[in-house]
């Protein structure tokens, strides 16, 4: 080894120990080159995209897989005998198999493609809720659910007379587990809970939540929208009954959602939408339905989006979910440290276990004014109630500003955010 | 970066945002309306007193929101007092046009005094920030609803 190489290796090792961007396991600068959108400027400033919790950017591999499908083999799936339909069907189903492996499902029959994660929850509320729940049964939610995991259950409540119970969160944003245990009763038939709070970043001890629910015979639906991009998820180890995620937050396309469900549960549920592709045979007297997952995929599905999602799963799998999680954890600590040091800035959500989401408010400025000002510094953050109004009410704020990090985020970007926040203080302070 | 921001967040606007005028619930009023911007969570109530000739004798508000929405509401309460309901609605239309278009002096402003127009022009800097137009117009939409006897409006 020559001197230059030794020096480089020593620097890399030091960087790895310090947990900075150029760690050996995960080279963020190399990763960033895969995302064409990140190299641009906005308002003459390099784009600093800190809104991955709302939707993540897409790597070249996903974009290419999708345009490649349109350019070379696109056709409808499950229908034709011709070459293109066969290839499209193979790729569409290959994506399903990749997701099954990625989540460690027992079989690809447990993976249903929907129009969005929201639609996946609505599917369960309709097909499972209206079949297996009855008046007086209880569903337990947490206080930090996204509206998508509240409103479908309220619609079900108004329809069939079930009761919703809500587990409180403490001042730091931790789920109050003992309160959850108190709510569990023979009336509890379903627990619908987030794995990671989108507004607070709290990682819920979901395996424990599921274990306690199962002890009393209740089923559990997990909203994994914020978890799947940030950590490795094993539905068998968790023992989840339903697990939902949003592909567009995992560097895949919009227009598609994923529902994992235990095969026997899915096959016990009636269809919720009727149409083509979900039937075995149709006559005007009687129609029989496909088994899961096709039973729940009426109509032409999001074919190319499913193929793009397959490419996204390949992409994050190749990087390694553990490496991604470690990189993001480093960013979380760095950002928390840096932002906590700002006078008059309060971080909302300081749970013991957190994902790379930092929600904050400032004494001197409203979140929307913060958002507008940092935007002009090239920094994209989310401002508002994050579709989680009950959480906002819990912490007595109308809105927060939220920086959420992805696998391509860097410490330098945190620094740019901190500088822009400094300017907010200068202007409003 | 700074120029656009300084144009939006002028000292006058920051001052009205921090210390909104007429921020109260009057003991008596003839109309009230609630305005919500569900995307931001901004919410305010406008209280109007109209005399028998439909002249605005008092206008006040309460609410929560960003600097732009609070400043806009505050400045609106200052310019509306003494106007007829028709004049107030005309001004709303002119202000809306200023915030969403390029016209700094729409014809609709003819007949309003220069000081009033100057105040509205300050807020019209919001047109450089399309996502924030609703913040600037929320109070005005709500006032318009109050004049027309609607009790609740929502801008999206």
Domains within chain B, CATH numbers bracketed: 2-154 (3.90.1010.10)
Per-residue model confidence (pLDDT) at position A15:
46
Contact B41 A383 (CB under 8 A): no
Q: Looking at residues A64-76, what average pLDDT do you find?
A: 97
Q: Nearest residue on chain B to A379, judged by CA atoms?
A: B1
CB A95 within 8 A of CB A310: yes
Least confident of A4-13, A96-105, A185-194, A311-320: A4-13
Average pLDDT, chain B: 89
Lowest mean pLDDT among A11-15, A27-31, A420-424: A11-15
A271 reaches B (C-beta below 8 A): no
To test the contact with chain A by mutation, choose from B2, B4, B5, B42 the residue with the greatest count of A C-beta atoms within 10 A, namely B5
| Whether the predicted pLDDT of B98 surpasses 80 | yes
A110, A294 Cβ separation under 8 angstroms: no
Is A225 one of the annotated active-site residues of the chain?
Answer: no
**Rounded Cα–Cα distance for residues A228 and A225 (Å):** 6
pLDDT at residue A20 is higher than 80: no
> Is the backbone of residue A284 left (phi > 0), alpha (psi -120 to 50) or beta?
alpha
Contact B43 A372 (CB under 8 A): no
pLDDT at A67 over 80: yes
Query: In terms of pLDDT, which residue wins out, A91 or A279?
Result: A91
CA distance B135 to B140: 10
Contacts 24+ apart (CB under 8 A), A210-217: A210/A238, A210/A239, A210/A240, A210/A241, A211/A239, A212/A180, A212/A181, A212/A184, A213/A140, A213/A184, A213/A188, A214/A239, A216/A184, A216/A185, A216/A186, A216/A188
Name which of A165-169, B101-105, B126-130 the model is least confident about.
B101-105
Nearest by CB to residue B67, choosing from A369, A389, A399, is A369
| Yes or no, beta carbons of B5 and A427 under 8 Å apart | yes
Say whether A400 sits in a helix, a strand or coil. Answer: strand
Burial (0-12, 13-18, 19+ Cβ within 10 Å), A154? middle
CB A295 within 8 A of CB A128: no
As a whole number, mean pLDDT of residues A376-380 equals 96
Tell if the CB–CB gap between B66 and A367 is shorter than 8 Å. Answer: yes
- For chain B positions 8-47, those within 8 Å of chain A (CB to CB) are 8-9, 14, 39-43
Give how far Cα A51 sits from Cα of A32, A123, A138, A217, B128, Å: 15, 27, 35, 38, 22
pLDDT at B109: 79
Q: Quick one: pLDDT at residue B154?
A: 67
Which ipTM was obtained for this model? 0.86
Q: What's the pLDDT tens digit per position in B116-134?
A: 888 888 888 888 888 889 9
In whole angstroms, what is the distance from residue B124 CA to residue B21 CA?
A: 19
Given the residues A387, A395, A397, A423, select the one marked as catalytic.
A387
Q: Is the pLDDT of residue B49 over 70?
A: yes
Q: Are the beta carbons of B64 and A365 separated by less than 8 Å?
A: no
CB-closest option in A366, A372, A392 to B65: A366
CB pairs under 8 A between A and B: 52
Residue B156 has pLDDT above 60, yes or no: no
Nearest CA in chain A to B6: A427
Across residues A150-162, what is the average pLDDT? 98
Residue A422's pLDDT is: 95
What is the pLDDT confidence band of residue A297, given thresholds at 50, 70 and 90? very high
3-class SS of residue A82 = coil
Please state the pTM of the whole predicted model.
Answer: 0.91
Q: Is residue A407 over pLDDT 60?
A: yes
Nearest to B132 among A372, A384, A392 (CB): A372
Quote the minimal CA–CA distance from B87 to chain A in Å. 31
Average pLDDT over residues A157-167: 98
**Number of helices and strands in chain B (H, E):** 6, 4
Across the interface, of A365, A373, A398, the residue whose CB is closest to B5 is A373
Question: What percentage of chain A has pLDDT greater than the value 90?
Answer: 88
Lateral strand order in the sheet of A111-114: A111-114, A257-261, A242-245, A219-223, A188-194, A138-142, A163-167
Instruction: Please report residues of B whose CB lies closer than 8 A to that of A44.
Output: 1
3-state secondary structure at position A229: coil
Query: Span B103-109, mean pLDDT?
Result: 72
For range A361-370, the mean pLDDT: 95
Which residues touch A224 (CB under 8 Å, ≥6 apart)? Answer: A195, A196, A233, A243, A244, A245
Q: Is residue A147 within 8 angstroms of chain B, CB to CB? A: no
pLDDT of residue A5: 47
Does A369 sit within 8 Å of B66, measured CB to CB? yes
A329: its two tokens:
């954890």
Of A401, A414, A402, which is closest to residue A341 (Cα–Cα)?
A414
What mean pLDDT comes out for the span A276-295? 90
**pLDDT at position A24:** 52
pLDDT band, very low/low/confident/very high, at B1 (cuts 50, 70, 90): low
* Candidate from A85-99, A121-135, A199-213, A378-392 with smallest mean pLDDT: A378-392
Is pLDDT at A167 greater than 60 in this prediction?
A: yes
What's the pLDDT band for A192 if we cut at 50, 70, 90? very high
pLDDT attached to residue A398: 86
Give the Cβ contact number of residue A90 at 10 Å: 12
Among the residue ranges A221-225, A307-311, A389-393, the one predicted with the least confidence is A389-393
Searching chain A, which residue's CA lies closest to the CA of residue B9?
A427
State the pLDDT confidence band at A170, using cuts at 50, 70 and 90. very high
What's residue A105's pLDDT?
98
Strand partners, A163: A138
Residue among B4, B8, B41 minimizing CB distance to A385? B41
A116 within 8 A of A146, measured Cβ to Cβ = no
Calculate how close chain B gets to A189, using CA atoms only, in Å: 33
pLDDT at A396 over 50: yes
Q: Which residues of B25-57 are buried (b: 16+ CB within 10 A; e: fewer)?
A: eeeebebbbbbbbebbbbbbbbbbbbeeeeebe
Which range is least confidently modeled, A18-22, A158-162, B58-62? A18-22
Nearest CA in chain A to B68: A369
Considering CB atoms only, which of B39, B41, B135 is closest to A392?
Answer: B41
**Cβ <8 Å between A372 and B1:** no
* pLDDT score of B108: 74
Asked if residue A66 has a cis previous peptide bond (ω within 30° of 0), the answer is no
- Judged against a pLDDT cut of 70, whether residue B90 lies above it is answered with yes
Residue A12 has pLDDT above 50, yes or no: no
DSSP symbol at A269: S
Handedness of CA A95, A99, A102, A108 (dihedral sign): negative
Q: CA-nearest residue of chain B to A393?
A: B41
Whether residue A13 is predicted with pLDDT greater than 70 in this model: the reply is: no
What does pLDDT average to over chain A?
Answer: 93
Question: In this predicted model, what pLDDT tens digit does every residue of B56-87 receive, in sequence order?
Answer: 999 999 999 999 999 999 999 999 999 999 99
> Which residues of B are less than 8 Å from A428 in CB distance?
9, 14, 67
Closest Cα in chain B to A43: B1
Domains of chain A: 19-49+320-428 (3.90.1150.10), 62-318 (3.40.640.10)
pLDDT at A16: 43
Token pair, residue A326, equals 């470690």
């Amino acid at each position: 080894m020559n001197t230059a190489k030794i020096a480089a290796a020593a620097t890399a090792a030091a960087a790895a120990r310090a947990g900075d961007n150029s760690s050996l396991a995960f080279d963020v600068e190399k990763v960033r080159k895969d995302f064409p959108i990140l190299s641009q400027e906005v308002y003459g400033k390099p784009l600093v995209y800190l809104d991955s919790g709302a939707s993540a950017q897409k790597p070249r591999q996903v974009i290419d897989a999708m345009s490649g499908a349109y350019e070379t083999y696109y056709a409808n799936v499950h229908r034709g005998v011709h070459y293109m339909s066969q290839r499209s069907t193979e790729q569409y189903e290959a994506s399903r198999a990749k997701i099954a492996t990625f989540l460690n499902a027992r079989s690809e029959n447990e993976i249903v493609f929907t129009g969005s994660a929201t639609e996946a929850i609505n599917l369960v509320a309709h097909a499972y809720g209206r079949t297996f729940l009855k008046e007086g049964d209880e569903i337990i939610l947490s206080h930090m659910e996204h509206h998508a995991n509240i409103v479908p259950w309220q619609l079900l409540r108004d329809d069939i007379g079930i009761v919703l119970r809500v587990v409180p969160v403490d001042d730091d944003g931790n789920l109050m587990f003992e309160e959850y245990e108190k709510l569990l009763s023979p009336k509890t038939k379903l627990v619908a809970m987030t794995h990671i709070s989108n507004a607070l970043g709290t990682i819920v001890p979901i395996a424990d939540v599921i274990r306690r629910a199962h002890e009393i015979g209740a089923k559990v639906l997990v909203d994994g929208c914020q978890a799947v991009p940030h950590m490795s998820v094993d539905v068998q180890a968790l023992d989840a009954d339903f697990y939902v995620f949003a592909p567009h937050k995992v560097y895949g396309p919009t227009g598609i959602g994923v529902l994992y469900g235990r095969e026997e549960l899915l096959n016990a549920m009636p269809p919720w939408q009727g149409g083509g592709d979900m039937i075995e045979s149709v006559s005007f007297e009687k129609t029989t339905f496909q088994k899961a997952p096709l039973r729940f995929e009426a109509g032409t599905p999001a074919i190319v989006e499913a193929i793009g999602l397959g490419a996204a799963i390949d992409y994050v799998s190749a990087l390694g979910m553990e490496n991604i999680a470690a990189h993001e954890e480093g960013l979380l600590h760095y950002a928390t440290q840096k932002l906590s040091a700002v006078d008059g800035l309060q971080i909302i959500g300081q749970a013991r276990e957190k994902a790379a989401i930092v929600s904050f408010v400032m004494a001197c400025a409203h979140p929307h004014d913060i958002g507008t000002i940092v935007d002009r510094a090239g920094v994209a953050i989310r401002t508002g109630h994050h579709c989680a109004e009950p959480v906002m009410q819990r912490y007595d704020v109308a809105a927060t500003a939220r920086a959420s990090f992805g696998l391509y985020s860097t410490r330098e970007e945190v620094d740019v955010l901190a500088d822009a926040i400094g300017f907010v203080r200068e202007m409003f302070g | 970066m700074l120029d656009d921001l300084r144009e939006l967040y002028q000292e006058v606007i920051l001052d009205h945002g921090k210390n909104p005028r007429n921020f109260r619930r009057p003991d008596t009023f003839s109309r009230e309306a609630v305005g919500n911007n569900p995307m931001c969570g901004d919410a305010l109530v406008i209280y109007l007193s109209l005399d028998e000739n439909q002249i605005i004798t008092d206008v006040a508000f309460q609410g929560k929101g960003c600097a732009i929405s609070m400043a806009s509401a505050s400045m609106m309460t200052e310019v509306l007092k003494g106007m007829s309901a028709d004049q107030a609605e005309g001004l709303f239309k002119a202000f809306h046009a200023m915030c969403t278009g390029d016209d700094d002096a729409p014809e609709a402003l003819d007949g309003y005094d220069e000081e009033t127009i100057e105040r509205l022009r300050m807020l019209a800097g919001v047109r450089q920030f399309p996502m924030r137009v609703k913040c600037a117009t929320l109070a005005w939409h709500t006032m318009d609803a109050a004049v027309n006897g609607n009790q609740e409006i929502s801008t999206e």
